[in-house]
Structure 1
Amino acid sequence: MRALFINSTLLLIHRPGNASVVELTVFERCTAMPEVLLFYFCLQFINLFLGIPANVMVLWLIHRTKGDSSTSDIFILHLAVLDTFFCLIPPLEFANLMYLTVDSTWYVLRFFYGVKDSSPLFLSCICMDRYMAVRHPILFTELKDRKHRSVCVAVVWLITLVYAAAKCVGNIPNFEKAFTVMILAAFAFMVFCNMSILWALRQSGPGRDEMHPVKKRAFKMVLIILAIIVFNYFPPVALFPFQEYFTDDVFKCYIHYIAFGFMDISSSIQPVLYLSKEKLIIPSCRTKDDCCSRYSCCSCCCAVTGEMQVST
């Protein structure tokens, strides 16, 4: 038997020495814990019926408003493309988990799981872009019209496709550790960026006892984003480094699906949040002298963009 760890499911393939041995589906191997698989299937079909139209609407909205878009929209657009393709796989995944024992279809699934594994890299780019806008607005303004964001997108896609291809092969020893390292690093980076933004927005201007109303709205939105990041990515971050402390059956049929179920539902939560958020219109900060201090007014947070779009 060879155990192959993949992003949103676990494929266990028997390679019997004779034809009399019956191969089992993943569902048959996890019959002692069927409620976990049912929970996982519910989340995946939410992605199918909610995630696809939500991500398509995000793509349409960004295309329609491309003349008035934020600097992060290039990362949001590519993240929506990635999530749209990932949301197409639940029917094939359901068939393979429940009924099929063939190898061929799993190569396709493992490739898509590898693509989804890399989605935190695009989220990290979004967080970094907003971190620079809030904490280093002048530098952000100078780099605003550069092509470095397109270069970042190209690099992330290169890493994503190489990682997905390697995962598709399925026989690289200890390959699952690459995901553990990546998700830990991306999670820590995203939390750092959002906590820094919250700290900056929380600072009141001179002579003010309360936060500026627009800054307060931005603070609440970033706080929601941070909560969603923790909700989606904390389970795999908290559980996968301790894989060796669980029995094989518990990890393969319980922990694995719980952790990746929460991570995969981000394909629906992220576009819904983007569609539901409001653009925070704030005054322009034309020069460095317009800002009495870096965090004293909301215009410094947008770094001369004229608006601050806060979304995942």
Structure 2
Amino acid sequence: MNDTSRNVSFTDPWIYCLDHGYVTPMICQSTEVLCFLLGTPALVWCLWISLSGSISGGLKPTQIFPMNLCIVELLFCIEGLFQTIYYLFLPNNNMFLQVVYCLFFIAWVCRPLFQTCICVERYMAVVQPVAFIKYRLRRYRMGTSTLIWGLAIIYPCFTVSSLGYLTKTNDVLVSVYCLGGVVISFCCFFILRALKQPGPGEVEGGRGGEKKQRTTDPQKMRAFSIVLTNLVIILVSSILVAVGFFTMPNSGIDFYCNTFLMLLACNMLSVVVSPVLHLHREGRLHCRKGPVTN
């Protein structure tokens, strides 16, 4: 039987792809290094901005999920660096491989979960303001964050030594990304619809009650563009991951070496794009100032 028809297991294909002359593994590895070099300072900067504001005025409940997401994406960059070290320098070290797997699972599972929490929080604030005020206390967000971190840490620690843990990991990742994509799409759709509707001061009535003039609040337009941009980034990265991990177990080595690794590389780039866009909106990038925030 030809090698290209055999199923992929996640324990050996990377070295196999390199040994057989595939270029995509090197592209993916270069993307991981790029994410570490560019994403880490950008994420540290974003985290410092949040922490500096929290020190002076106290940690706001709405900052908890974004700060956790920033930490997760930092872990995402570190996991990519560890994976590069493993494949280049420690390919036969099983202990280091297990550490890489644990970091991989924590980073790739926590990221869509915290993104979902942020979208649900924004949905409550825009569409259900009464419920948002009722559940705006810090303890709800701290409890949710602790639960996410706890489950993401416990699962790989207990499954890494069991048979078939990589297949189970694929199932978990596909489920998390699909569920997160559905919830995020639902929340963002209603947020965008609410932002497009005119507020009390945005429509002036004419004679007979007809709408004569309509002006749109610039803050609402800015919020609309931010939500739409984040929705596109999250959905594209989620779809790529879900399709890749869902298809990989039943595909051949060619799919892994060409398509799957390229999907992962595209998803990794979103880790760099998100903090850079945030810094741009905050006006922290000297090359081009973003809009001034009040």
Partner of 1:285: none
Q: CA deviation at 1:244?
A: 5.9
For the Cα contact (< 8 Å) 2:32–2:84, is it kept in 1? Answer: no
Partner of 1:273: 277
SS at match of 2:11: strand
Deviates more, 1:90-99 or 1:74-83: 90-99
For the Cα contact (< 8 Å) 1:27–1:34, is it kept in 2? Answer: no
Match of 2:78 among 74, 88, 91: 88
Partner of 1:46: 34
Q: Structure with the greater relative contact order (CA < 8 A, sep ≥ 6): 1 or 2?
A: 2
Instruction: Measure, in 2, the Cα distance between the counterparts of 1:47 and 1:273.
Output: 15
CA-to-partner distance for each residue in 1:84-125, whole Å, 9 max, x for gaps? 233224443224324523322211110110111211101111
| CA 42–147 in structure 1, closer or farther in 2 if over 3 Å, else same | same
Partner of 1:286: none
Matches within 5 A, 1:170-209: 171-172=163-164, 174-175=167-168, 176-205=170-199, 206-207=203-204, 208-209=213-214
Deviates more, 1:65-74 or 1:177-186: 65-74
| CA 232–33 in structure 1, closer or farther in 2 if over 3 Å, else same | farther
Q: CA deviation at 1:237?
A: 2.5
SS at match of 1:144: coil
Which structure's residues are more often helix, by fraction?
2
Deviates more, 1:90-99 or 1:150-159: 90-99
Q: CA deviation at 1:184?
A: 0.7
Question: Is 1:264 paired with 2:268?
Answer: yes
For the Cα contact (< 8 Å) 2:248–2:256, is it kept in 1? Answer: no
Instruction: Measure, in 2, the Cα distance between the counterparts of 1:155 and 1:225.
Output: 24
Instruction: Measure, in 2, the Cα distance between the counterparts of 1:231 and 1:48.
Output: 21
Instruction: Measure, in 2, the Cα distance between the counterparts of 1:31 and 1:192.
Output: 44
TM-score (ref. length: structure 1): 0.75
Partner of 1:116: 107
**Structure 1: which amino acid aligns with 2:272?**
S
Instruction: Measure, in 2, the Cα distance between the counterparts of 1:139 and 1:91.
Output: 42
Q: CA deviation at 1:253?
A: 1.7
Question: Is 1:101 paired with 2:92?
Answer: yes
| CA 11–242 in structure 1, closer or farther in 2 if over 3 Å, else same | closer
Q: CA deviation at 1:30?
A: 4.2
Partner of 1:219: 224
Structure 1: unaligned runs, 5 residues or longer = 13-24, 280-307
Instruction: Measure, in 2, the Cα distance between the counterparts of 1:202 and 1:274.
Output: 22
Q: CA deviation at 1:69?
A: 6.3
Match of 2:242 among 228, 237, 240: 237
| CA 90–237 in structure 1, closer or farther in 2 if over 3 Å, else same | closer
Partner of 2:140: 148
CA-to-partner distance for each residue in 1:119-151, whole Å, 9 max, x for gaps? 110111111110000001122123223521111
| CA 149–69 in structure 1, closer or farther in 2 if over 3 Å, else same | same
Identity %: 22
Partner of 1:78: 68
SS at match of 1:87: helix
**RMSD over equivalenced CA pairs, Å:** 2.8
| CA 73–148 in structure 1, closer or farther in 2 if over 3 Å, else same | same
| CA 146–109 in structure 1, closer or farther in 2 if over 3 Å, else same | closer
Instruction: Measure, in 2, the Cα distance between the counterparts of 1:171 and 1:46.
Output: 33
Instruction: Measure, in 2, the Cα distance between the counterparts of 1:185 and 1:232.
Output: 13
**Structure 1: which amino acid aligns with 2:271?**
S
Q: CA deviation at 1:63?
A: 1.0
Q: CA deviation at 1:55?
A: 1.5
- Report how many aligned residue pairs link the two structures: 263
**Structure 2: which amino acid aligns with 1:103?**
N
Deviates more, 1:219-228 or 1:268-277: 268-277
SS at match of 2:78: coil
| CA 98–252 in structure 1, closer or farther in 2 if over 3 Å, else same | farther
